Amino acid sequence: MRFYKIIIGLGLVLISFTAFAQTSPVTILDGGKRISYRGLSVVNDKVFWVSGSNGTVVRSLDGGNTLETIPVQGYEKRDFRDIEAIDAETAIIMAIAEPAVILKTKDGGKNWTKVFEDTTKGMFLDAMDMRINAYQGKKKQNASTATPTLMVVGDPIHGKLFVAMSFDAGDTWQVMPKPESKDDVRWVNDTEAMFASSGTNVKLTSWNDASPTLLVTGGSKARLKDLTLHNFNDSLALMQGGTSTGANSIDVYNPTKSAVIVGGDFAKDSIGANNCVLVSFATGKPVYSVPNTMPHGYRSCVIYLDANTLVACGTSGIDISKDGGKNWQLISRESFHVVQKARNGKAIFMAGGGGRIAKLILP
């Protein structure tokens, strides 16, 4: 990957980086390793799990003060691009390429069970998402008693995006059958796919009993698709048309039925244009808009902290928005692939290349 070109004088660069260093909201917890972390799941303010290359899984039970590297026997060379943690003891990890494999632990990583495998040529898994609150009829189940639902998505095989679901917390998986209709949104051309950049290009929404499952793509086309209802397959106002362009991440704020999508061109990661789209589902079908001020470069992951506050990260920096995504402010030039907030809490953690794990502390 080529990083951004230096286009200003060395003195200004040093001044800029010194200013960021003095005010950086990033606290590095670990780094200096030949590992790329792209999977991150934060259970609460104390418990989070990270996954990445070289068969690496990391867990913390004390908010990052102590990081435990957990071996996954027999998978030391696999790249675990995504992870979903149910609690301190239970997590599901996804290995990307053929054979595609999903593993689960129920004892804090002491033992791992293979719960899914697909040896199809060309198989490449991209992301997982997990929804703990689920609807039965029109009544939402309690998070403490609901069985988590998970979805995994992968690049197209014979022109069809791969989709599988688990309705029993990842113990068993069901591959979605071949589309019956030529209009099914899972059909794509050979140059439209997904990026396994942060495990966040699919989202199981939870605002009612007919909630859509949202997925974003990149490459020749950048699209927002509804995998559940198959009723929209919309082109996005993002960079597209190249092998490294398009959407990388989507997050949803369920109370307001709002979504934000980020991406850009990871091969030209300093370009701060056409890298973010805002979506409102208030009227049912999506209504699109673009920010007044875009994130300051390619962004591989985005999250809502609340209805108005969002954070996006990528290889060229970290941005924050305090007005629902309309305007973005660069708060750090540090490189991370993924950012996640505690599902039950307020802590924010990040992970990226060079074995970097960090905590983001905002004022």
Please, which pLDDT band fits residue 23 given cuts at 50, 70 and 90? confident
Provide long-range contacts, Cβ within 8 A and 24+ apart, for 106-114. Answer: 108/59, 108/70, 109/57, 109/59, 109/68, 109/70, 109/71, 109/72, 112/72, 112/73, 112/75
Residue 165: partners with Cβ closer than 8 Å, 6 or more residues away: 149, 150, 151, 152, 173, 174, 176
In terms of pLDDT, which residue wins out, 192 or 7? 192
In terms of pLDDT, which residue wins out, 317 or 14? 317
């293979």: which residue's tokens? 114
Within 13 Å, how many C-alpha atoms sit on residue 265's CB side?
Answer: 16
Bridge partners, 317 (sequence order): 314
The structural domains of the chain, with segments of one domain joined by +, span: 10-360
Which pLDDT score, from 0 to 100, does residue 16 have?
39
Mean local confidence (pLDDT), 112-141: 85
Q: What single-letter amino acid sits at 290?
A: V
Please, which pLDDT band fits residue 15 given cuts at 50, 70 and 90? very low
Measured in degrees and rounded to the nearest 5, phi and psi for residue 214 equal: -100, 140
Which pLDDT score, from 0 to 100, does residue 68 have?
98
Which pLDDT score, from 0 to 100, does residue 210 have?
73
Please, which pLDDT band fits residue 335 given cuts at 50, 70 and 90? very high
Percentages helix, strand, coil for the chain, rounded to the nearest 5?
5, 45, 50
71-94 tens-digit pLDDT = 999 999 999 999 999 999 999 999
Q: Is the pLDDT of residue 4 over 80?
A: no
Which pLDDT score, from 0 to 100, does residue 29 have?
98
Out of 1-10, 150-159, 342-351, least confident range: 1-10
Which pLDDT score, from 0 to 100, does residue 3 have?
28
176-209 tens-digit pLDDT = 998 888 889 999 988 999 999 999 999 999 887 6
Which pLDDT score, from 0 to 100, does residue 135 have?
55
- Residue 259 CB-density burial (10 A; 0-12 exposed, 13-18 middle, 19+ buried): buried
Q: Is the pLDDT of residue 263 over 90?
A: yes
Please, which pLDDT band fits residue 144 given cuts at 50, 70 and 90? low
Rg of the Cα trace of the chain? 19
pTM: 0.91
CATH fourth-level superfamily of 10-360: YVTN repeat-like/Quinoprotein amine dehydrogenase (2.130.10.10)
Q: Is the pLDDT of residue 18 over 70?
A: no
